[in-house]
Amino acid sequence: MYYSSGSYEAFARPRKPEGVENKTAWLVGAGLASMASAAFMIRDGQMDGSKITILERLKLPGGALDGIEEPKKGFVVRGGREVDDHYECLWDLYRSIPSIEVEGASVLDEFYWLNKDDPNYSLQRATVEQGKDAGTGTLFTLSEQAQKELTELFLPPVSRWRASGSTRSSARSSSPATSGCTGAPCSPSRSGTRRWR
């Protein structure tokens, strides 16, 4: 791994990888990770978008981005836009994706303008009664029981997902691609061929 300080190298375009025109990419799940991977492969890896296939089990793409049925409108992100100034990778990606609505602008430009016109941030650690400040200040203490419940919510024991009928798919399986823990077959969905700059 090579590390550098400053932004000098962030603005240099990578050289075209040798043999990239003979390669293909297959991504499982049409969520943020696959879409961002495809965008970086097109922009930085200089791979033709028609050589990238994204497999998705559901009718709507987007994963946690809440894909909608109108691709020209994009994707709606859950949870609003409370993001950090230091999401360097996200901002780098957004600056290379052209705006659908503003000619000559990028998605980063639109996001920046929106945050300047309508700032969105919160210093609250917890809320009560539909959004009122809980008055916890900078503390966010949880009882031992609450900590256990949160842990089990996000990291359920193996016995719970087995009881629910979910299965994990093996990467070594020779069966068709499946999605996540459901094991349901994925349906192929070709990515666009738009060249992002």
The predicted-structure confidence for 55-75, as pLDDT tens digits, reads as follows 988 877 777 765 565 666 665
Q: Name residue, tokens 């359920």.
A: 156
DSSP label at residue 6: S
% of the chain surpassing 90 pLDDT: 26
Q: What is the mean pLDDT of residues 42-60?
A: 92
In a domain, 144, yes or no: no
In a domain, 178, yes or no: yes
In a domain, 43, yes or no: yes
Domain count, the chain: 1
Which range, of 16-30, 61-75, 118-132, averages the lowest pLDDT? 61-75
Q: What is the pTM of this model?
A: 0.57
How far are the Cα atoms of 14, 76, 135 from residue 194, in angstroms, in the given order? Answer: 19, 21, 49
First to last CA, the chain: 26
Whether the per-residue pLDDT at 113 is higher than 80: the answer is: yes
Domain range for 28:
9-82+122-127+169-190
In a domain, 103, yes or no: no
In a domain, 15, yes or no: yes
User: pLDDT band at 25, cuts 50/70/90?
Assistant: very high
pLDDT, tens digit (0-9, with 9 covering 90-100), for 152-161: 887 877 776 6
| pLDDT for 7 | 75
